[in-house]
Structure 1
C-alpha cells in the first residue's frame, strides 16, 4: 500500500542522547495513523551522503504522496519549514562518521539549489493556528540537514518514476523551546495541511536578512 507520507528524523549526534527531530517523528506518526493517514517513518544517520542514500531507497520503495524530512536546529526559536536546499557541503563539525567536507558539492554538476515542493506558507500558517512558534526559513545550513534536503529534491526532480511526489524539509528546535508533545502535534498539523494543499497560500514569508 502506498503511504500518504514518509517522515524522517535523525539519530542523536555530537554527544547528545536524543535528537528532537526523531522524537517529533516517532510521536507524530501514531497520531497521523489515528487520523487516518498512512505513514512510514525512518530514522537517518547524521552522515553526509549516507543519510540521503537511505532516504532515496525509502522513497523508491514506498513511493509516498509526500516526503517530510526533519532535522534539529538547536539555536532556532520555533519550527521552520525550509524554502531552499543548496548544493554545498561545508561542515562546521564532523558528521557521525567523522567526515568534515569543506566547500564540496552535494551533487557534482547539480543545480545551485532546489526549492521545496511543500506548501511551506500554508504549513507555517498552520503552526500559528496551533499556537506553536514558527516561520519560514530561508537557509537549511550547509550540514547534513541541507545535504538530505538537497539529495531529496534532486531525486524527485530527476527520477521520472517518482513524478508527482512532493517533498521538503522542516527544522525543529531544541526541546527547551518547543517540548516534544507540542512539537509532534505541530508536525502532524503541518503534514495534514500539506496533504490537502496543492497550491501554496499567498502569504508573506520573506525576510530582510
Structure 2
C-alpha cells in the first residue's frame, strides 16, 4: 500500500530580533519575535530567531537562517530607544559607523557593510500599507527614513543585498522594523502585546498586499 504524501508545510515568514544590549536584561525586538514564533499568518508559518548584536556575526547567523528556511518574507526587528511607535524603515545604507561598541566590543567607523555593493537598498515591504493596517488596529506606527548606522542598519542592508543577489531567494520580500522600549524599560514605550499585534497585522499585510499604497507616509526621523 502506497503511503499518502505528507502535506506540504506552509511557506515561512522569518522574523528576527536581537539579543540584549547595553546593560538591558532583555531586548524588546526579541521578545516580539519569539511571541510570534510558530503562529500562522495568512497561510504562512512564522519562525523567530535571535541575532547577536555584533557586526558580521549577525549577518553570518542571518545567512544560516535564510539558507535553512528560504522564507517568502523576512522582517528583522531592532530596538530604537526614544521612538514611540513601530518604525517601518524605508532605506538601508551601505555603511557601518558605530557611535558605541557592539556586544563583542567592535566599533567600525565608516566601513561598508558589503564592499563594492550599492550605496543603498529600499525595503521591499509595503511599508505604507503596513503602517495603515497597524494604525487601523490601534497600534502606533510610522515610516522612518533612517535605520541609523549601527548593527540594525548592518543587518537591514545585509538582508536586502542578499535578497537582491542570491538566486534561491528570488521573489522573497524583506525589510526592517524598529521598535520602542517596553514601558518598564523607560519612556516612550509600548506594551509588548500591542507591539506583537502590530507586527502580526504588518506581516499579514505584507503577505496579502502586492503593491504599496501611495499616501500616508507618516512621521520622518
- Residue 12 of structure 2 is matched in structure 1 by 4
Structure that is richer in strand per residue: 2
* 2:37 is the alignment partner of 1:29: yes
- Residue 141 of structure 1 is matched in structure 2 by 148
- Residue 125 of structure 1 is matched in structure 2 by 132
Higher RCO structure (Cα 8 Å, ≥6 apart): 1
Written as runs of structure 1 = structure 2, the 5 A alignment for 1:1-209 is 1=9, 3-30=11-38, 32-33=39-40, 36-176=43-183, 177-205=189-217
Q: What CA distance in whole angstroms lies between the structure 2 residues aligned with 1:131 and 1:116? A: 24
Cα gap change, 1:128 to 1:34, in 2 (>3 Å): closer
8 Å CA contact 1:28–1:185 kept in 2: the answer is no
**What is the CA distance between 1:36 and its match in structure 2?**
5.0
**What is the CA distance between 1:34 and its match in structure 2?**
7.6
Structure of greater Rg: 2
TM-score by length of 2: 0.89
SS at match of 1:135: strand
8 Å CA contact 1:79–1:133 kept in 2: the answer is yes
Cα gap change, 1:180 to 1:206, in 2 (>3 Å): closer
Unaligned 5+ segments in structure 2 are: 1-8, 184-188
8 Å CA contact 2:55–2:154 kept in 1: the answer is yes
Q: Deviations over 1:104-132 (max 9, x none)?
A: 11011111100001110011111111111
8 Å CA contact 2:94–2:117 kept in 1: the answer is yes
Cα gap change, 1:179 to 1:99, in 2 (>3 Å): same
Unaligned 5+ segments in structure 1 are: none
**What is the CA distance between 1:40 and its match in structure 2?**
1.4
